[in-house]
Structures are given as structure tokens and as C-alpha cells.
Amino acid sequence: MMEQFVEIKAANPDCLLFYRMGDFYELFFEDAEIASRALGIVLTKRGKHQGHDIPMCGVPVHAADDYLQKLIGLGHRVAVCEQIEDPAEAKKRGSKSVVKRDVIRLVTPGTITEDRLLAPSESNFLMALGRVKGGAENSYALAWIELSTGVFRVAETNAEALAADIFRVDPRELIVAEPVFHDEELKPLFDMIGRVASPQPPSLFDSASAPGRIARFYGVATPDSFGTFSRAELSAISGIVAYVEKTQKAERPPLSRPEREQAGSTLFIDPATRANLELLRTMSGGRDGSLIKAVDRTVTGAGARLLADRLMSPLTDPKAINARLDSVAFFASETRLCGALRACLKEAADMPRALTRLALNRGGPRDLGALRSGFEAALALRTLFADAELPAELKGALDAISALPVRFADHLGSALADELPLLRRDGGFVRAGYNAELDEMRALRDEARKVIAAMERELIDETGIRSLKIRHNNVLGYYIEVTANHQALMMGSDAAKARFIHRQTMANAMRFTTTELAEMETKIANAADRALAIELGVFDALTTEAVGHADAIRAGATALAVLDVSAALAVLASAEAWRRPVVDDSLAFEISGGRHPVVEQALRRTAGAPFVANDCDLSPEQGDRHGATWLLTGPNMGGKSTFLRQNALIAILAQTGSFVPAKSARIGVVDRLFSRVGASDDLARGRSTFMVEMVETAAILNQAGERALVILDEIGRGTATFDGLSIAWAAVEYLHEKNCCRAIFATHFHEMTALAGKLERLHNVTMRVKEWEGDVVFLHEVAKGAADRSYGVQVARLAGLPAAVVERARAVLHQLEAGETSGKADRLVDDLPLFSAVVKREEPKPAKPDTLGAALSTINPDELTPREALEALYRLKEMAGK
């Protein structure tokens, strides 16, 4: 057995081997040590290898999914090795013969299909990177699939956009040819991606043999009908198809044909911007606090995945964007229809994932039930929308729903029982009356005594022997018993002898059987096995039929997801008072009463406070060919970062096809979005906070064009004051003169406000504050003008710094602002006394007698006349003045 294990393990060296032994998957040697630590299970030992104990641990087969989830989450890959031979067959070769085993599947992060291992609202993409060398530059392409739903897309890219395109898809696993993975130029990219990237043999990505591999996978003569692909795209498609064949072994998932994404069809958002804006996850990695959490009102898993996909890939075509907005507007106006739609969709299960599990032979009766419920919801929707005038996107969705295979839907309805078991081996999922033989076998299995009693009555009527009995024992099985007095009736004629076969003679009874009784006995004995076999045959037939309709089912499921997203965005717009944006080809960016979609909901939920809305207008002024730049100043905690992010998020939402949190919005399509908000270091790559800031700023200044939207916060704050001011100054000039893009630049360098007099499209705006008795009140309002201070000391006091530190800081700030030290540290030390000299411990003062309180205590307002009350008030005022 260990020889067999070592042989199979050698063929899968990069995987933990789940080796099936009875009811357990066992792991041995180093695999056992790794799994024991990762899963927290006991490490034991069994037998010896080369004189050493063999480490061993195992997990129950019925609970394997839970353990797989943990291992996959930690970045491991697992090879599942099953027994592929009946143990009885192995024994025929000898009593000590080992049952044949082989790996039936490789489980990797990007190839999971089990419902328990997948989040219903999140996609699980597997991506392949293809590269073709040629000329001065390499050609790159990306292909990605969602194995559980069959989605298959491909797109060309370049070295500049490679990281952004990978993070846009957000794959769980990225496969790369080994030479590409070890390319020094791409090392920073793979370091950033981390363990998601996996090197594979270069033969998988061979573009020359790619057409043949693709044709074999899809069972076609040539892939030319799929479209014309570049060599890099063929390399990526070949890599992902070969990897699917490698991991799924003999099974073939029902992948759709590769669909190409046109370059520039989606909004370019670089990885740093995606992280800063927290589209799907917060900076800490959680979903709470992200944009998707704030806007998701979908009622189906497929709808939630489609919404996330749209948020990660906003469109750049105004026509396509407005088609989506038309759908949302339709449901926003048709609230009754919207509610009825959502009620129908709640009953629909996840059809694409169920279909894939069935195709991969991992499905069960409930997956067929998921298809049935999806069909039922789709048919109900056709009736619901029968008389509605629909916009183009919704009409296309309804056409796809109408193309669903109705006959197959009827077949599922008639074949499947109402209550379905989890596993097909449990049986009981075929509806009574669907298959006559199955009904008979079930009757025999469940009601054998009734069947025998019915046969007994028939024999009594036939023979006229009222004492005839059909009995059973372990020796004869079922038999007919009559008293000896009736021997002549049972054996008196040739016909009777032929009909009743003598089995045994007793002292006062005789026992017989018949051909019918013998056959019935065999049927009863085999009824349970036969009933299950019939059900499994029905299951296989329905699965084959479902896979045959895979394209139509996928299209219909996508249509349901489109309806879900459109209705969900309409519900969101109504609940949050969002408005439809105007999206066109201009360079406009005019937001009236804009709000941050996440912060507004958080404020309402935690503090019950309203969000302060603000306008933003970066549109070109009359006669200008380029958008404006806003230089935003104001205090810390004043709301600058929130204002910056909310405008970027409004642009994303608008181009996603959603209404936006604003009173009104007009947005000329943004083709590239850059956001640099916040600070963090990258110690693993040897980068300080300031270095990370400069790298990200450089990427923005080198890539932003006139249609870009740039959001920059606190550039230059990570270094010395004059160095930082110089960098920020030059960056603003470059944005204005060279990039010519719409931009908001937040800074604490108040000296930069002078640039407004030099740069014609630069405007000074500030976050308003109010000072009250030495405290600062943040109004969170954006207004024209410039701030003259940052109120850092006041913010420090609000943060809870010791009073002594705050007072010392005030003294230092006062001297610096007076200009007496000219920024020289040695003069500052001489001019300001030591900390201990400035900050003295205040002795507690003796309490004064509370004369005012004593006087008030003697007054009874109920007993005073108006004149006496007025006189008492004057006396109290006089006492307060003293």
C-alpha cells in the first residue's frame, strides 16, 4: 500500500495527497505533518519507511469539505485519491492485493465547485497569464474562468496595465508559465500578488498547439468559430484549458466559449486605487465597511456576484452605461413590479453552480432541484412582464429567459419529488408515478407484506382453499402452505402439478411454491437495490439533459442576475435618496449635494447623524478644453479624505450603471481613475511610507490623461517640510499642465494656495471650521477659499494627548508662527524654555463657598409674587457678579 502511495505522491509533488482508505482520507510523511499543523488534528505514526516511523493523520470522508476549505484557505493544493476498483475485484488477484487507487481531482483555490466551500455572493476566478515574446515588447493576455458558473473571458493587456487588469478580476488563483513566473521584470508583480500566483509547466501555454487543445476541449473541429485571437490570447486560453484538464482529470466542466473583452471598454483602476477605495474589501481585509457591502441589495447569489463584477469593472461607453441606468430607472418607477420580481427571485436557486456540479459528477438531487426552482422563477417572471414596456437591457434579459428549455423544465417538475435528499445514493428523489417499475420496486421494498397478502388472496380465490397461507422462513424463503387434506387439490391434476411446485411435506401440512411467487421473492429481495438503481438512472438521464442545455441555462441564469441587479439598485436608490446621473462623452464632472455612500450609512447606523453633503465641479469652464483642478486645504478631521473618496466612488457608481448619492450629477466618462489617499509602508519590499507614496504618485503622473480623474491626498508629507512642499508643488503643476485631467489635490501646505493665481484651471477650496472658546468645530463643508492653518494642536487635544503635551505644543507653535526662530532648531531651543519650565503641576485650589447655591436653596418659586421673583433675580445676578 505504501508503495502505491509513494508512486501516486511522486506524480503530484506540489499537492497534499488525500489517500482514500475506507471511510477516511489519510495523509502520510510530510503531508501528514503539514496537515496536522494546519488542521489541528492529531499526528500519529504507522509502520516504518527506511527505518523511520511514518507520520500519519486522517480526516473522515463525510467531513472532508470542511478540512479542504481550511487547507485551500491557507494556500495549499490537495490531490484527492480515491479507490477506483471494487475491493472484491482486488481479492480475485490475491488475498493481499491492493485496491487500485488514482487521483480523481486536484483541488486548488481557483477550481473549487462545492457549494459549502464557495461564498454565494462572491466569484471564485481562476486566471491564466499568457505571454508571447516578439519585437521590442512582449505581448500579454489574460484569460479567466469561474469554474463553478462556466464564465470564460479573455483580454489582451500590456506591461503597464497588467497589474491593474489582474486586480480588477481579483482571481483566487493565477497560473503562469514557469519562465514568466521567474522573470525578474515581473517579480515585483508576483511579489505583490503573493501566493495566489502559481508556476506551471510552459507546455501548457504553448500558443502553437493551443488551437488543437481548445478544439479538443470543446469537441469542435476548429476554434475559429469562437473568434480570432492573438497569440498571447491563445497562450492564456490554452493555459487555463490545460489546467482545467489537469485538475479535473476525466471530468469536463461546461465552460462557455471564450468571450473577448475589448481594450478600453472598462474603467482603468490601478491596484493602489482599488485598495484605497475599498470596493470589495476594506484595508483590513473585511467586507464590512466596503462599497459592495453598502450598496448590495440583491436577493440572489448570482445577482450579488454580477454586482461585484460591475463595480470592479465600470464601463466607459456612455451608451452601455445609460442602458443600465434605464433598467434601474424602470424599476425605480415601477415599484410594484419591482417588489413582485424580487419575491420571485428569492425562490430561485443558483443555477450555474448547480449545473457545473452536475456536469463534474459532483452534484446531487438538490442541484437538479436548484435548476427546477430557477425554471419556475423564470416562468413566473415571463408572466409578470407580459404586458410591460421594457428598456433594451431588460428586454434582452427577458428574451434569454424565454429561450430556456421549457420541455426540460417540465421534465424536471414531473420527475423530481418535492423534498429532495442531499446525496443521490440516499434515493427517494424521484416523484411517485414518474416511473412504473420504480413504483413497483418501492411498493415491494416498503410494502412487501401487503404484496404477499394480495397474492395470498388471489390464490385462495383460485383454489378455493380458505386455509391457504403464504409464509416465509430462512430456509425455504416464501412458500405456500396448505393442510394435508388439500393435497388432492394441489397435486391432483397435471395442470395443478405444473402450477404448484412441491417443496416440503410435513406431518399435517404441505408446502409449495409457484413461478410467480419465486419471481416475487427475488423481486422483493432485490427491490431496494433495484429501486436505487432506477433512481440513479433517472438522475443520470436528467443530468445529461441538463448539460445538453448548458448554454441556454447559463444565459437564462445571467438574465435573472441582470434583473436582480437592476431591481436591487432601484431599491437602493429609493431607500437612500440616490439620483440618476447624466453620463456622456464630455469632460464634465459636476456633483451637487454629493455624499459618501459608506460613511453616510455608517453615521446613520451608529450616531443617527446626517451626512453633510457637498458639491464638486471639475468641469471645464467656458472656453477651456480641459477639466479643472481643485486644491483642497483644511484641518485634519475636517473631512478632506471623505470628500476625496466620495467623488471617486460616485464616478465608479455612475459608470457601473447605478444611481448615485447626490442631488444631481453630470459625469463625462472617466477612462482612468487614480486615488492616492492614506499612507502605509511596504517593509517586505524595502519601501518606506514615503517611498510607497512616491511610487504611487509617479504611476499616476505617468499614466493620467485628460479623461482621467485623479484624487491625491497629502503628497509630500512623508519627508522634510521643504522637500515635501517642493514635490507637492511640482506635482500640482504637472497635473495641471501635462496631464490636463480633472483632479482634486488635498494638502496641508498652505503656501500652495498661491498657485491659484498662476494656474488658470486651479481653484482653491477648503473644509470649513469654526473656532469656539479655543476649541475647533468641524463643519465638514467644502467652500471656496483657502485655509490658513491646520488646527493640528486642537485635533491632538481631541485625540486625548496629555494636557501638558498640548500646552507645550501651543507654545512651540506660537513661537514658530511668530517667525522669531526662522525655522532654526537651535534658536527654537534657546527661545523656548524647557518642557518642565513651561508645564508646571497645578496645585489644587481651595474650594470657594457656594454662596449662589445657598441663596438659591432658600427660594421657593411657588410662593413668590411676580415682583418678589424679579427682586430675587436681581439679587442673584449681583451675587454672581461678585
DSSP string, 17-38: EEEEETTEEEEEHHHHHHHHHH
> Could you tell me which residues come within 8 angstroms of residue 632 by beta carbon, excluding any fewer than 6 positions away?
640, 643, 644, 744, 745, 746, 747, 765, 766, 767, 782
Residue 641 annotated as part of some ligand binding site = yes
To 10 degrees, what angle do helices 64-73 and 29-39 make? 90
DSSP string, 669-700: PPSEEEEE-S---BGGGTB-HHHHHHHHHHHH
Cβ atoms 566, 331 nearer than 8 A: yes
Task: Provide the H-helix boundaries in 249-350.
Answer: 271-277, 291-295, 301-312, 318-333, 335-345
Distances in Å between the Cα of 338 and the Cα atoms of 27, 321, 326, 335, 570 are: 53, 21, 14, 5, 8
User: What does the longest C-alpha to C-alpha distance in the chain come to?
Assistant: 138
Tell me the HSE value of 709 on the side-chain side, using a 13 A CA sphere: 29
- Name the residue with cell 477605495: 277
DSSP 8-class letter at 266: B
Q: What b-and-e string marks burial along 662-671, b requiring 16 or more CB atoms within 10 Å of the CB?
A: beebbbbbbb
Neighbours of 689 (CB within 10 A): 16
- Name the residue with cell 478631521: 637
- Type of residue found at 749: F
Instruction: Report which secondary-structure segment, H or E, holds 728.
Output: helix 721-734
Nearest one of 706, 760, 703 to 733, comparing CA atoms: 760
Cβ atoms 235, 131 nearer than 8 A: yes
Residue 639 annotated as part of some ligand binding site = yes
Residue 614 annotated as part of some ligand binding site = no
Neighbours of 613 (CB within 10 A): 19
- Between CA 123 and CA 301 the distance in angstroms is 9
Angle at 802 between CA 800 and CA 808, to 5 degrees: 120
Evaluate the CA torsion angle 852, 854, 860, 865 in order and state its sign: negative
Q: Distance from CA of residue 279 to its chain's centroid?
A: 11
User: What helix, strand, coil percent values describe the chain, rounded to 5?
Assistant: 50, 20, 30
C-alpha cell at 420: 429532495
Angle at 357 between CA 356 and CA 359, to 5 degrees: 65
Residue 638 annotated as part of some ligand binding site = yes
- Please tell me whether residue 430 adopts helix, strand or coil conformation: strand
Q: Is 279 exposed, middle or buried (0-12, 13-18, 19+ CB in 10 A)?
A: buried
DSSP string, 492-539: SSHHHHHHSEEEEE-SSEEEEE-HHHHHHHHHHHHHHHHHHHHHHHHH
Neighbours of 560 (CB within 10 A): 26
Q: What are phi and psi of 759, to 5 degrees?
A: -105, 120
Q: What are phi and psi of 775, to 5 degrees?
A: -100, 160
Evaluate the CA torsion angle 602, 606, 608, 614 in order and state its sign: negative
Distances in Å between the Cα of 252 and the Cα atoms of 65, 115, 148, 219, 465 are: 21, 18, 12, 11, 63
Feature table: binding site for ATP: 634-641
Feature table: binding site: 634-641
